[in-house]
Amino acid sequence: MAQGLGFFLALLSLLGPGSGTVGGQTFASSSVPTLAQHKHLTTVPLEETSVATSWARGSTVSQPFSNFTGSVNDHGICQCSVSLPDTTFPVVRVERLEFTAQILSQKFEKELSKVKEYVHLISVYEKRLLNLTVRVEIMEKNSISYTELDFELIKIEVKEMEKLIIRLKESFVGSTEIVDQLEVEIRNMTLLVQKLETLDKNNVLVIRREILALKKKLEECEASKNEHTPLVPPRPAPGSCNHGGVVNISRPSVVQLNWRGFSYKYGAWGRDYSPEQPNKTLYWVAPLETSGQTLQYYRLYNTLDNLLLYTQVRESLIRYGQGSGTTVYNNNMYVNWYNSRNIARVNLSTNTVAVTRQLPDAAYNNRFSYANVAWQDMDFAVDEHGLWVVYATEASTGNIVISLLNDTSLVVLNTWVTKQYKPSVSSTFMVCGVLYATRTLNTRSEEIFYYYDTNTRKEGNLAILMPKMQERVQSINYHPFDQKLYVYNDGYLLNYDLFFQKESK
C-alpha cells in the first residue's frame, strides 16, 4: 500500500498543479514541492522516490503515456501536461465493420453468380449465333428458296439475343468489350436477315403476297357480281369429264424454286395420279442437268408441305432420262431413253427400269422438239383416260402425233395425227382425251391457242391467256383429280387451276 502511494505521489509531482486524464478518468493534483526546497517534509522511501526520479530524468523505460511536456515556474514548481491515450476498445465500431464486411461478402457472392450465369449465357448464344451464320451461309450458297417461316424463326432467335445483350449491358459491371462486340455481331446478323428477306432471289414471299392481294381483289369482284351470273362455271367433280372443255385458267401460284437451284432451268414436276387412289398426294420434281438434256436426279415428297419444307425426301439417281417430257402415273415414271427413240417405265418404289420399248417412227435427239425448249421430242401426258405420249415423225412432216399407251407394257393402243406443226408449239397437255397446245406471246404470257379432240378427231383454235413468271415454259403436266396444271417455268414450280365450260344439255 505504501509503495502504491509513493508511485501516485511521484506521478502527481510530475503532473504538477492542475488536472489530467488517466485511463479516461479526470483528476486534480496539488503542487508538490521538490525535496530540495522542502527538506522538512517527510522523507519518501527510496523505492517510491525512484519512480519520480526516473520520470524527472526522462528515462527511456517503456512509458504508459503518449507524450508529455514539463516546465518550472517562477516559484520553482514543476508543471507537466500529460496526454494519455484512449485505451477503450472500440467494440461498437468493430461490430459495425464486421456487419459491413458480411454484407459486402454476400453482395460479392451474388454478383459473382450473376457473372458466371452471364458467361454461360454468352457462350450459349455465341454458339446459336454461329449456327445462324452457318444456316444463312448455306442458304446463300445453295440458292434454295427459303420460306417466310424460316425468316421468322431466325428473326425471333436474333431478337432473343438482342434482349440478352441489353440485360447484360445494364447489369454487367466492369469491362464490356466482349458484350459490345457481341452486340455489334447481333446487329449485323439482324441487318443480314432483313437484307436476305428483302432481296429474296426467288421472289417467293413477294409473289405470295401479291397472290393474296389478287385473291382478295377476286373475292371483292365476285361479291360485286350478281349471284346468278358467277364469274366462272362450277367445277366438275374430280376426275370427271362432264364438261365442255377448258375455257379459262387462273393466274399462276408459285410453289417454289426447284430443289437444285436457279441454274437448273429445265425439268418437270407434278403430282402422281392413280385411278385406284385418285386423292394420293405423291409429288415429284425432276430437274434436268444444266445442259437441258439429261435427267439424272429426281425427288419424291409424300405431301406438298414436305416439298415446301424439303423434309422426308426420297431422292433417286437415274442416268438414262432425256428431255423435260417426263411424267408420273400410278407410281411409275415415264421418260424418253437417252439418245434413242425408246421410252421407259421406272418403278418409283424400287427406282428400277421395269419396261423399255421403242416408240415406232418417233423422231428423237432434238429433231422436232418444242419451240425454245430443246430435247423434248417425246412429251408424256396423263389425263382421265390414261397415259399419252406426244411426239412427231418424219411421216407427219413434224406435225404433232398423239398416241395412247398401255401404262404397263408401253404398247401403243391408238394414234392420232394432227395438223399442228410441233416446233411452233411451246408445250402441250391432255385433258379428257383433248390435246391443248400453248405458244409464247411474250416473256410474261403464254396462250392456249390450239386443241385436238381425240374423241371426235376435231381440232380448232382457242385464245386463253396463260400468265407466267419467267420467260420459258419447259413442261406442263395435268392432274385429273385436282384439275390443276403443274408447270416447270425456268426452274420455278408453278401450278394453275383450270376452268371448264358447263356441259350443254
Least confident of 62-71, 97-106, 228-237: 62-71
How many independent structural domains does the chain possess? 3
Amino acid 319: pLDDT: 86
Amino acid 296: pLDDT: 95
For residues 106 and 54, state if they share a domain. no
Q: Which three cell numbers stand for residue 448?
A: 392456249
Q: What residues have CB less than 8 Å from 76, skipping those under 6 apart?
A: 33, 34, 37
pLDDT for 51 beyond 50:
no
For residues 280 and 427, state if they share a domain. yes
> How many residues appear in the chain?
505
Q: Which three cell numbers stand for residue 200?
A: 429474296
Q: Is residue 431 part of a domain?
A: yes
Whole-number percent of the chain with pLDDT over 90: 50
Among candidate residues 83, 105, 131, the one where a domain is terminated: 83
At 379-392, the pLDDT tens digits run 999 999 999 999 99
Among candidate residues 31, 66, 83, the one where a domain is terminated: 83
Q: Bigger pLDDT: 348 or 96?
A: 348
For the entire predicted model, the pTM comes to 0.57
Q: Report the DSSP pairing between strands 294-301 and 342-347.
A: unpaired
Tally of CB atoms within 10 A around 3: 11
Amino acid 454: pLDDT: 97
> What sign does the dihedral 402-405-407-408 (CA atoms) show?
negative
Q: Is residue 68 part of a domain?
A: yes
For residues 72 and 95, state if they share a domain. no
Q: Is residue 222 part of a domain?
A: no
Q: Is residue 216 part of a domain?
A: no
Range of 29's domain?
A: 2-83
Amino acid 203: pLDDT: 54
Helices (H) and strands (E) counted in the chain, each on its own, are 7, 24
Among candidate residues 83, 100, 135, the one where a domain is terminated: 83
Cα 358 to Cα 228, 344, 345, 422, distances in angstroms: 53, 9, 12, 20
For residues 21 and 156, state if they share a domain. no
Helical (H) or strand (E) element with 411: none
For residue 96, name the pLDDT band (cuts at 50, 70, 90): confident
For residue 28, name the pLDDT band (cuts at 50, 70, 90): very low
For residues 25 and 96, state if they share a domain. no
For residues 308 and 439, state if they share a domain. yes
Q: In a 10 Å sphere around its CB, with 0-12 CB exposed, 13-18 middle and 19+ buried, how is residue 431 labelled?
A: buried
Q: Bigger pLDDT: 423 or 189?
A: 423
At 150-178, the pLDDT tens digits run 566 666 766 777 776 676 666 655 556 66
Nearest-angstrom CA–CA distance, 395 and 362: 9
For residues 374 and 280, state if they share a domain. yes
* The one-letter amino acid at 345: R
Work out the mean pLDDT of the chain and round it to a whole number: 80
Nearest-angstrom CA–CA distance, 87 and 84: 9
Q: Is residue 36 part of a domain?
A: yes
pLDDT for 19 beyond 80:
no
For residue 40, name the pLDDT band (cuts at 50, 70, 90): very low
Amino acid 222: pLDDT: 58
Q: Is residue 215 part of a domain?
A: no
Least confident of 10-14, 158-162, 317-321, 431-435: 10-14
Q: Is residue 417 part of a domain?
A: yes
Amino acid 30: pLDDT: 40
For residue 181, name the pLDDT band (cuts at 50, 70, 90): low
Amino acid 223: pLDDT: 64
Tally of CB atoms within 10 A around 89: 8
Best CA proximity match to 265, nearest among 238, 293, 247, 292: 292
Beta strands per DSSP E along 52-162: 67-72, 78-83
pLDDT for 209 beyond 50:
yes
Q: What residues have CB less than 8 Å from 462, skipping those under 6 apart?
A: 246, 436, 448, 449, 450, 451
pLDDT for 220 beyond 80:
no
At 390-410, the pLDDT tens digits run 999 999 999 999 999 999 999
For residue 331, name the pLDDT band (cuts at 50, 70, 90): very high
pLDDT for 329 beyond 90:
yes
Whole-number percent of the chain with pLDDT over 70: 66
Amino acid 234: pLDDT: 74
Least confident of 45-59, 151-165, 294-308: 45-59
For residues 78 and 129, state if they share a domain. no
Nearest-angstrom CA–CA distance, 258 and 199: 18
Q: What is the gyration radius of the CA atoms in the chain, in angstroms?
A: 51
Q: Is residue 58 part of a domain?
A: yes
